[in-house]
A and B are shown apart, each in its own frame.
Chain A
Amino acid sequence: MQLITVAGSPSVGKTSVILRVSEILGQQGLRVGVAKFDSLSTSDDSLYEQKGIPVAVGLAGSICPDHYFVSNVEDCLAWGQRQGLDILFSESAGLCNRCSPHIAGVMAVCVVDALAGVQTPKKIGPMLRLADLVVITKGDIVSQVEREVFAYKVRLANPGARACFCNGITGQGASDLANEIVQAAHTPSLEGQRLRFPMPAAVCPYCVGETAIGETHQRGNVKKMTFADQAEAV
């Protein structure tokens, strides 16, 4: 089975892209399934089910969504194998631009949204920089200039990566994407595999339910901002 990690900020169009690509892969006789990760709730599973795509849902709830992803991805793989899938997409939202679910040796896809503005590719961390394939959505509703500049910035943010535009509504570009995905390496097991980059560390009282504000409550992994004060007027 081929595992594909798909990541991107909320509402960029990950589900639409996966649906479009799955349709094409399905026509080629491949059995596709999705492991959908979200934080609080999701209704995307019904979209997949409508298309007859097997879907497993993981809601992270009070746990950091990407940490939750890593702790569960092996079970997802096993689930996919039990369903007899040829291709399993894991879909997860990179909520803080810093997390990345990408695993060494497993095809990594990052979905970005041209509407987010031309500075966005620079701001997204390992999720974009360490992906193998970058998919740009909503390119049809921004100006030609921004489309070109956005593509250029994606190239600088992840030089040499494959990148393509895909319209989640019309499906334009989805066949190119499907061609890339069928070439992904197979993932028989994730035992001993490594993430491409460590996830942000956050072990402090707030991780486990502290709500009080103030110095005395800050323990564990605490990091402080530095401020530059204006010099006093002479």
Chain B
Amino acid sequence: MNPVIDLPLERLTLDHPCVSDFLASLGFSEPDGRQSLRHWLDQLADEDILDAGMERHQILDHVQRLIREVQRMEQDRHARVDSLTLIGGRNKQGEPEPVEISVRAGQILCIVGPTGSGKSRLLADIECLAQGDTPTGRRILVNGQTPAGDFRHALDRKLVAQLSQNMNFVVDLSAREFIGMHAQCRMVNEPQAMVERVIACANDLTGEKFSPETSVTQLSGGQTRALMIADVALLSASPVVLIDEIENAGVDRQRALELLVTGEKIVFISTHDPLLALRGDRRIVIRNGGIVDVLTTSALERENLNRIEAVDATLMNIRDRLRRGLRIEEPVQWPQ
């Protein structure tokens, strides 16, 4: 006797809410909760079963696979990555790339190099956890080991979240509903509280505040970016985050990075923004499709970062005054 499909339906759907969603999607009329799934299906007319698009044994099998899959997702929530190691392959000329770089959770690595030098290729190698099977021949180790095949292919177990520049929202939902939908499928304990946190965080990152009721498709570029960064830091399943430049579209880049790092993420950013590049722990220099150097941010660079930040703050202030309709006539005071 199979314990699951012979349970009374009311008990089955109480224990496994995913099953009731699935059964509802088949479009049958409401079953008697005291019946078992097997019994109930046996009583349905063949014609109704045909309409549902699955045969009885396929429905039974589906329900059992569904329960296993949801249990697996629950377990995966606790998977963590402490380190990622990048082992060099070869550049566009086929010359060896003799590097090995390890990044720990909470560290930021920047990727710099001219346009077309291979920065996106490096991000792509990390994204698919390359194992010598991409054009560069690079390999990526997780926690010092070759990742299991499952890790590479299973969708929800994806280790790497990528915030690309050319993203769109397809759904038309309010920010609250949108993040709520994500929280629901991440199975967080208190989805509503999490949604409020993500939106508050996003508002913290952007100069232009938005309400949770704003439709995501109406958010500005900066607001969108802020929302996606807050979401990836607080809610995403993936311990590794790849960012393709955080443009200066009204996002507080310093706080964005702090947020990602306190979430114990491993962060890779492809950027030429000095505020970001110098804030990273190290930066990978790419030329001709290969890594030619790995620079650790020096003490002098950190000092310069402070000065650059002060210059940036001056510029931001001018920007803000422009926004408020003021004149910019007094001589600009650059910080020393």
Contact = CB atoms under 8 A, between A and B. Distances in A.
A148 B185 contact: yes
A159 B181 contact: no
Contacts of A125: 53-54
Contacts of A164: 153, 155
B166 interface: yes
B68 interface: yes
Contacts of A151: 155-156, 158
A1 interface: no
A156 B69 CA distance: 8
B220 to A, nearest CB: 15
Interface stretch (B2-10, B229-237, B276-284, B322-330): B229-237
Interface string A119-136: 000100110011000001
B318 interface: no
Contacts of A165: 155
B53 A149 contact: no
B200 interface: no
Nearest to A97: B53
B82 to A, nearest CB: 22
A155 B156 contact: yes
A134 to B, nearest CB: 8
B22 interface: yes
A197 interface: yes
B73 interface: yes
Interface in A132-183: 136, 140-146, 148-149, 151-156, 159-160, 162-165, 170, 172-173, 175-176, 180
A171 B302 CA distance: 39
B179 A159 contact: no
Q: Which of A145, A156, A176 has the most CB of B within 10 A?
A: A145
Contacts of A117: 170-171
B230 to A, nearest CB: 11
B249 interface: no
A115 interface: yes
Interface in A61-88: none
Interface in A93-108: 98
B54 A129 contact: yes
A155 B73 CA distance: 10
Given A122-B25, A129-B53, A130-B58, A144 B171 contact: no
B245 interface: no
A148 B158 CA distance: 9
Given A140-B166, A145-B231, A146-B170, A197 B53 contact: yes
A200 B66 CA distance: 25
A145 B228 contact: yes
A152 B185 contact: yes
A122 B124 CA distance: 29
Q: Which of A125, A159, A165 has the most CB of B within 10 A?
A: A159
Interface stretch (B33-41, B103-111, B127-135, B287-295): B127-135
B209 interface: no
A85 B237 CA distance: 41
B127 to A, nearest CB: 7
Q: Which of B69, B127, B163, B185 has the most CB of A within 10 A?
A: B185
Contact of B168 (A129, A136, A142, A172): A142
Contacts of A136: 155
Contacts of B92: none
Contacts of A201: 50
Interface of A: 98, 114-118, 122, 125-126, 129-130, 136, 140-146, 148-149, 151-156, 159-160, 162-165, 170, 172-173, 175-176, 180, 197-198, 201
The 8 closest A-B pairs by CB, nearest first: A125-B53, A159-B69, A151-B155, A159-B65, A152-B185, A159-B66, A160-B65, A163-B155
6 contacts: A98-B53, A130-B58, A141-B167, A145-B231, A148-B182, A160-B69
